[in-house]
Structure 1
Amino acid sequence: MASSLTKDAAQQETTSPARGGMTFFGHPFGLAPLFLTEMWERFSYYGMRALLVVYLISGGPDAKPGSQGGGLAMPEASSVAIYSVYVAMVYLLAMPGGWFGDRVWGPRKTVTIAASVIMSGHLLLAVPGKPTFFAGLALVAIGSGLLKSNISTMVGHLYDGPQDPRRDGGFTIFYIGINIGAFAAPLVIGTVGQEVNWHLGFGIAAAGMALGLLIFLWGTRHLDAKSSVVPKPLSAEERKATLMKALLWLGVAAAFYGVVGGTGHFTLNWALIPIALLGLIVPITVLARIKRDKELSATEQTKVSGYIWFFVAAAVFWMIFDQAGSTMSTFAEKKTTDNVFGLHFPSTWFQSVNPLWVMALAPVFAWLWVWLAKRDREPSTTVKFAMAMVGIGASFFVFAVPMGMAEGGHTVSPAWLLMIYMIQTMGELCLSPVGLSLTTKMAPQKYASQMLGVWFLAVTAGDCIMTLLATAKVPLDGVGVIVGQAAAATLAGIAVWVSRKKIEGLMGDVR
């Protein structure tokens, strides 16, 4: 592992296979192993996520009558809170994951370690028992955090700077790989887990991650040389100070929970609420620290100010979008008809609808942006974000309709969820791949990988709000709460659109 940009590394970069030779749909061939690695990692992640809430409520009072037992028999509110805080932690840990890529291992080695940790976590989930379940969940969250920002950074390394015209298209193709894995996972892992055996489903997720790891190791020779470089390695003094801080905080947490548990006061909320609050405090602290960094140039400082607008918008977007695996998952399980033309299907199949829409619509959106750009009519990034916010708000206005129809024990047509996911997907395609690319363009050089971690913290913030609402026993499946969220997202979208000139002024040369 190289510790700095040496002369040899620089020479290697100029002849890297990422810059010439074979291509992958007109892009550097290094995109292929990254595409496939992320596809299998998402297969394992979304398969487990599709099972998570229905497994947690299985065998309990909130489970669907006649459904498979063998789960943890938790109340629905607790299950939604666990789901939300788990997803939040996956994205929260992307920040230290980016730090490890920037300061300790470099992106390539970090991804290798991350994939191994994720695979181990899924193997623990495949072992029955509450302790192994929560240990496995923690490992998957840690591994996913290590992997996310670093693999996206390596995609950015394949292109010739922020102005490379292929860059947005490359991230869109990468995003399609994510959604191929996300589409297949509920159909395979969800069906096996929900209809045959929960732990066999988790075991299939482990096998998927193992395959992704093998593909990544095979494809490393096609990556850019910068992917093996540690941009700003820790000094010996910094390593020692970091280790001491980590041990100190670990000791504080152990002492605190030792007292709480030893006095018999521990409940699930003692874990969920502090983590959720941490998930809101950390993004604010990190953005403030980056903004105050005196080593950044004036241009970089201005871009960070502009980036905060996109971050807040994304947090509101993901607050609603990520309920696909919680509020919408339980709605699909208990209040949506589970057969079409006499064909029965498990509720986890609904988790494949969004990625199916992505695969259908992403090429259309990619073509549309290029077509409009050639005519100098492509919407700016700011306008795309405003469109995404209004779209996600509209999806929950629509969701309120079947919510109301299902009151009194009725079930509704699956067509409602298909339509809601379509609207959400259109918003997602205006925000998510665009946001990934925007982050790599606006990131200060000092925080190259870490800024992608900051982007993922927007998901953390949104999901932590949902965790706090669930632990406060707010009726998240109530029509009033759904409409309130829809209105908040729509108003946020309008605010971004109205402020677009100011935001674009802060972005400098990035559009």
Structure 2
Amino acid sequence: MSNLNRQKIVDSVPQSGFFGHPKGLFTLFFTEFWERFSYYGMRAILVFYMYYEVSKGGLGLDKTLALSIMSIYGSLVYMSGIIGGWLADRMFGTSKSVFYGGVLIMFGHIVLAIPGSVTMFFVSMVLIVLGTGLLKPNVSTVVGEMYSEEDNRRDAGFTIFVMGINMGAFLSPLIIGGVMDYSFHLGFGIAAVGMFFGLLVFNFTKKKNLGIAGTMVSNPMSPTEKKKIFTIFGIIAVILAVLCGVLIPRGLLTFKGFINLVTILGVLIPTLYFVVMYRSPKTTAVERSRIIAYIPLFIASVMFWSIQEQGSSILANYADERTQLNFAGIHISPAWFQSLNPLFIIIFAPIFAWMWVKLGKRQPTIPQKFSFALLFSGVSFLVILMPAYFGGSDALVNPLWLVLSYLICVFGELCLSPVGLSATTKLAPAAFSAQTMSLWFLSNAAAQALNAQVVRFYSVENEMIYFGVIGGVSIVLGIILFMFAPKIQGFMKGVR
């Protein structure tokens, strides 16, 4: 997009009206608030819905399979962002992509809200994955379009936007988790209503608040290209339908087979990204050096997210079956623990931001911050094995152990997530700046794809070994990364 078009977009957006920020921030703040309310509320009860018995309103799937599906689902959500970004850049523009994505998410939750079969469950998952891929990366892009590149309000605007994300993620597990014991489908229905509110806010305020932000297609396809792409997509859809129709009845395409396929893609896709960027003639020698520096950071990110994302699978199951849920005179829903991560981020993110500013040039380097993240995440898993060490695996665990584990992991997230986003923009080759940001999000996809294999080893009987090995590996990798941090910093060629 040319600088002229960028300025044209900025000029079309009312530049005040929401806490001193562009008026469009109101639209995007509440759109994303309701989208995250919808997504995280659904996710908070999803794993329980999969493995609870049919008599309790669940699907009655094997618990280990349910944990793997939960990880694969999370992986596909992050992978789909690549497709969503491409469709916005080439066909729809970001505004239409956000709206279409919200509609798909809402219908996915509506399908979940209707009692049905396992087949309908997977239909809903496809809708939500595609919808989130369209909405999630593109709503953030529209936020950036409202500010000129010289506008010093930009970082603060994104901070307010992210606060909306965490507010939605905090409230929804409390509300939807509260109705879980009564009806899973009611919970999914509330998630659908949340997305509906988000669509209402977006659709009825975008014209007045957003101007032309999100309406321009940055790299539009010609009619010939569109025809070619639609033909290719149609052929792929027919081939996939035929393969499923042939392989599934014959038992050649199973849940486990699909999980294995996604795991392979989760590792293969980012590997190909690195190879293509490094070997491209558009990449300079300095940029190649920075790509080398980015590889250990990417691996560290995969290790961290592998632990953090188990909060919605393994730790959710731990909350359900190993935790004392009658505590301090109240009954705790196991889904409520999913609110801890966004709550702690809301509380501690400003403190970490202040700390880095206060330290200035004395603050740790990017690789050192990543190493701290691995240390924190590893310790969070060592903490959760302590109850079994002291009291055995038969007694129910005080819920404060889980609270402490989530808190420590959030400290790690605040050392890695915002730092990783910033480092990605600095280390990305100029010709691959947008794709490198996609690569960053693929570290989460790769982590959850690997989790789909790892979670199969978890059981109450071997939980100490499970948490101990994974936590120990993270700590060892953190120590190694810290030791090699100066070397990695050298490959960054001046980036700090």
TM-score (norm 2): 0.90
Q: Displacement of 1:261 after TM fit? A: 2.2
Matched, 1:21 2:16: yes
Cross-structure match for 1:288: 275
CA distance in 2, matches of 1:434, 1:172: 14
Cross-structure match for 1:202: 188
Matched, 1:178 2:148: no
Cross-structure match for 2:439: 454
Q: Displacement of 1:82 after TM fit? A: 0.8
Kindly provide the amino acid, as one letter, of the partner of residue 21 in structure 1.
Answer: S
Question: Which range moved further: 243-252 or 421-430?
Answer: 243-252
Matched, 1:258 2:245: yes
Cross-structure match for 2:468: 483
Provide closer, same or farther for how the CA distance between residues 241 and 404 of structure 1 changes in structure 2, counting only shifts above 3 A: farther
C-alpha contact (below 8 Å) 2:13/2:212 kept by paired residues = no
Residue aligned with 1:93, SS = helix
Instruction: Determine which of 47, 50, 54 is the counterpart of 2:44.
Output: 50
Matched, 1:32 2:26: yes
Matched, 1:132 2:120: yes
C-alpha contact (below 8 Å) 1:157/1:224 kept by paired residues = no
C-alpha contact (below 8 Å) 1:114/1:146 kept by paired residues = yes
Deviations 1:88-128 (A, max 9, x none): 11111111122222222222222121111111111111111
Kindly provide the amino acid, as one letter, of the partner of residue 39 in structure 1.
Answer: F
Matched, 1:414 2:399: yes
Instruction: Determine which of 135, 148, 159 is the counterpart of 1:147.
Output: 135
Kindly provide the amino acid, as one letter, of the partner of residue 126 in structure 2.
Answer: A
Matched, 1:431 2:416: yes
Cross-structure match for 1:63: none
Q: Displacement of 1:168 after TM fit? A: 4.8
Deviations 1:140-177 (A, max 9, x none): 1111112222223333444554x976555444433322
Matched, 1:118 2:112: no
Instruction: Determine which of 308, 314, 332 is the counterpart of 2:295.
Output: 308
Cross-structure match for 1:362: 349
CA distance in 1, matches of 2:364, 2:6: 37
CA distance in 2, matches of 1:475, 1:341: 28
Matched, 1:382 2:378: no
Q: Displacement of 1:133 after TM fit? A: 1.7
Deviations 1:24-77 (A, max 9, x none): 3x65554433232222111111111111111111116xxxxxxx7011111210
Q: CA RMSD in A?
A: 2.8
Map 1:55-134 → 2, pairs under 5 A: 55-59=49-53, 69-130=56-117, 131-134=119-122
C-alpha contact (below 8 Å) 1:102/1:447 kept by paired residues = no
Cross-structure match for 2:310: 323
Provide closer, same or farther for how the CA distance between residues 169 and 302 of structure 1 changes in structure 2, counting only shifts above 3 A: farther
Q: Displacement of 1:464 after TM fit? A: 0.8
C-alpha contact (below 8 Å) 1:37/1:216 kept by paired residues = yes
Residue aligned with 1:411, SS = coil
Cross-structure match for 2:8: 12
Residue aligned with 1:228, SS = coil
Kindly provide the amino acid, as one letter, of the partner of residue 8 in structure 2.
Answer: Q
Kindly provide the amino acid, as one letter, of the partner of residue 414 in structure 1.
Answer: P
C-alpha contact (below 8 Å) 2:33/2:167 kept by paired residues = yes
Q: Displacement of 1:404 after TM fit? A: 3.7
C-alpha contact (below 8 Å) 1:171/1:437 kept by paired residues = no
Cross-structure match for 1:64: none
Provide closer, same or farther for how the CA distance between residues 35 and 347 of structure 1 changes in structure 2, counting only shifts above 3 A: same
Q: Displacement of 1:242 after TM fit? A: 3.7
CA distance in 2, matches of 1:308, 1:156: 27
C-alpha contact (below 8 Å) 1:172/1:433 kept by paired residues = no
CA distance in 1, matches of 2:423, 2:28: 19
Q: Displacement of 1:455 after TM fit? A: 1.9
Kindly provide the amino acid, as one letter, of the partner of residue 494 in structure 1.
Answer: I
Deviations 1:234-283 (A, max 9, x none): 34454444444434443443343333223245532132221222222222
C-alpha contact (below 8 Å) 1:150/1:449 kept by paired residues = no
Deviations 1:389-440 (A, max 9, x none): 1111111111121244564421010110111111011111122233234334
Matched, 1:268 2:255: yes
Provide closer, same or farther for how the CA distance between residues 225 and 302 of structure 1 changes in structure 2, counting only shifts above 3 A: farther
Deviations 1:285-331 (A, max 9, x none): 23323333334455555444433333222111110101111110111
CA distance in 1, matches of 2:485, 2:152: 23
Residue aligned with 2:57, SS = coil
Kindly provide the amino acid, as one letter, of the partner of residue 404 in structure 2.
Answer: M
Residue aligned with 2:310, SS = helix
Kindly provide the amino acid, as one letter, of the partner of residue 176 in structure 1.
Answer: M
Kindly provide the amino acid, as one letter, of the partner of residue 48 in structure 1.
Answer: M
Provide closer, same or farther for how the CA distance between residues 334 and 93 of structure 1 changes in structure 2, counting only shifts above 3 A: same
Deviations 1:425-458 (A, max 9, x none): 1111122233234334444555554433322211
C-alpha contact (below 8 Å) 1:337/1:413 kept by paired residues = yes
Structure 2 gaps, min length 5? none
Instruction: Determine which of 483, 487, 491 is the counterpart of 1:498.
Output: 483
CA distance in 2, matches of 1:393, 1:202: 33
CA distance in 2, matches of 1:475, 1:69: 22
Provide closer, same or farther for how the CA distance between residues 14 and 421 of structure 1 changes in structure 2, counting only shifts above 3 A: closer
Provide closer, same or farther for how the CA distance between residues 268 and 90 of structure 1 changes in structure 2, counting only shifts above 3 A: same
Provide closer, same or farther for how the CA distance between residues 272 and 366 of structure 1 changes in structure 2, counting only shifts above 3 A: same
CA distance in 2, matches of 1:15, 1:261: 54
C-alpha contact (below 8 Å) 2:77/2:129 kept by paired residues = yes
CA distance in 2, matches of 1:255, 1:233: 31
Provide closer, same or farther for how the CA distance between residues 469 and 280 of structure 1 changes in structure 2, counting only shifts above 3 A: same
CA distance in 1, matches of 2:90, 2:430: 13
Instruction: Determine which of 257, 265, 277 is the counterpart of 2:264.
Output: 277
